[in-house]
Structure 1
């Protein structure tokens, strides 16, 4: 369920159709991929964060899911992927990072 603000200001809860507009501009026009990318890059720059773009946000989301223990299947479904190859990489990366943290903690204890 996605909350959609209608132009009248009321909130309507309903299923979002696949081909419906999700992002709209300040002028209530649909935003295309280029407009969305530009907006994300600009917000990143204003926040002082370099190299921010929609794909990086998607990657960060998937990585965080893996770090929090989501399965390959869960990641794959949330990202809308039909193959688990990328989800496998996210889970593997999370496991490697977890192992590095464990080693660092062992060293600190000595």
Structure 2
């Protein structure tokens, strides 16, 4: 299957499921975000997704970085005990 064939298939499957704007990079964003939320290591993420530059996990994880930072602050509670 070609790259364009995968793109077409993802769009069809998304439409059939009632999900708009389905594309492979959306999966990468979601996967990177959930990986980091779960405490996953950036190096392991790079290895799993075939990335050789730290720019890739930074880019794909940036869409939800603020959410992860807020979750970490809530978990650590630094400043709550002052």
TM-score normalised by structure 2 residue count: 0.71
* Equivalent residues, number: 71
Pick the structure with more strand per residue.
1
Q: Which runs of 4+ in 1 moved over 6 A?
A: none
Report the TM-score, using the length of structure 1 for normalisation. Answer: 0.55
CA-based RMSD of the aligned residues comes to: 2.3
Structure 1 unaligned blocks of 5 or more: 1-30, 103-110
User: Structure 2, unaligned stretches of length 5 or more?
Assistant: 75-82
Of Structure 1 and Structure 2, the greater helix share is in: 2
CA distance in 2 between partners of 1:35 and 1:88 (Å): 28
Q: Which has the larger radius of gyration?
A: 1
Which structure has more RCO (C-alpha within 8 Å, separation ≥ 6)? Answer: 2
* 1:49-89 per-position Cα deviation (integer Å, ceiling 9, x unaligned): 11001121122112211111111111111110111122234
